[in-house]
Structure formats: C-alpha cells, structure tokens
Amino acid sequence: MQISVKQLALQLFQSGSITYGKFVLSSGKESSYYIDLRVVPSYPITFKLVIGAYMQTFDKIKDTKFKSLACVPTTGLIFGSVLSYIYSLPMIYVRKEKKEYGMKREVEGYFNFGDNVLIVDDVSTSGSSIIEVAKKLRAVGCEVKDAIVLIDRMEGAIQNLKVNGIKLHYFATVNELQQHVDDIMKKTQK
C-alpha cells in the first residue's frame, strides 16, 4: 500500500504526535509546534502507517547496500528496530554517553570496520543528533553517508548534514504535513 503525506498527517494529528503550543526543541530553538513520534507505538494503526512511510523512503535508497542500521536514541530505536527486522539488516545504536562500566561502549551491536551504515532517526531539525551519531560511528571505523528520518522540519538539517558528508532522506517535510493538518483543523472547526 502506498502511503500518502495526507494519510500520515491525519494519523499523526489524530494520535497527538503533532501538538501546537510553545515548545523548546533539543536544538534550543523555540517552536509553535512539536512532533513527538515516541507516542506512535501506542497507536497501532498510526505505527503501521509510519513504518510504511519509512519503508517507502528506504526502498528508494536500498540499492546503496547498507550493512547495518544505526539508530539515534531514543526514538530512532523504535523505528530502526522494526526496519532492521523487515529488511534483515543488523541494527546497532549509539549511546548518548559512553558507559563507565561493563564493556564501556558508545556503539552497541555488531559491525565490521568499513561497514556502510544508515542512520535512522525520527525528525530532523538542525541535524545535530545525526552528526553526533555519525562522528561516533566514524570513530569506530564505520562509513556513514546517509541518514533517514520520517519528517524534516526544514531548519537546516539537509545543509548541515551535507557539509558533514551525509545525505538526508525523508518521507515528508513539515510544510507538506502542515498543509494537510491545516485542512483537517478547518474541517473540525466547522
């Protein structure tokens, strides 16, 4: 089934994954809306649709021959683990901070030196989270050229990632979603 941006907008709005108000983002910027994809697994219909949207985006780039998926904690792990299962690709993840006990790893999971790794995250704003993960992956010998997200907020991630040698792939921009959310809100106000 082909997923449309309109379907995604409706499901995200109905599940409360898109909220309006005054918010501070992880980048420190203020925003009049917040996209919280951590709630998506609580809504199975929305979850299936979101995974379908990720798959449509991934299918466009799967010929790149990624050796594994690397997830940005925490929301990237939700979607990356499902994609790992569907595509039979190993999944690794990068910790925000190095463990000070046990194996003391920053990168968890199995990978080989030189593996081409696709970074999975939920939403891109400035791209800083993806850049941090890419630095840690590169430090342990992985090759990182691509990242995939569901939504790009159009606040500089594409350009910032490009400067760092990473191409961003996304299902929809926030502007594309917003058009449909505005239509939904108008219909509910009638």
| pLDDT single digits (tens) 54-112 | 999 999 998 989 999 999 988 999 999 999 999 999 999 888 766 566 556 788 899 99
Q: In this predicted structure, which of 31-35, 48-52, 85-89, 182-186 has the lowest mean pLDDT?
A: 182-186
pLDDT at 189: 65
pTM of the model: 0.92
Q: How many CB atoms lie within 10 A of CB 152?
A: 22
Q: At what angle do helices 75-87 and 44-59 cross, to 10 degrees?
A: 60
Question: What is the token pair recorded at 162?
Answer: 């490009």
Contact 153, 170 (CB under 8 A): no
Q: What percent of the chain has pLDDT over 90?
A: 71
For 163, the 3-state DSSP assignment is: helix
CATH says 5-189 is which class? alpha beta
Q: What is the pLDDT of residues 145-162, one digit of tens each?
A: 999 999 999 999 999 999
What does each C-alpha distance from 163 to 135, 145, 158, 182 come to in angstroms?
13, 11, 9, 33
Torsion of CA 127, 130, 136, 138, to 10 degrees: -90
Rounded CA-CA distance 138/8 in Å is: 33
Mapped onto helix, strand or coil, the DSSP state of residue 141 is coil
Evaluated on CA atoms 92, 118, 41, 156, the torsion sign reads positive
> What single-letter DSSP state applies at residue 38?
G
Cβ–Cβ under 8 Å, residues 168 and 160: no
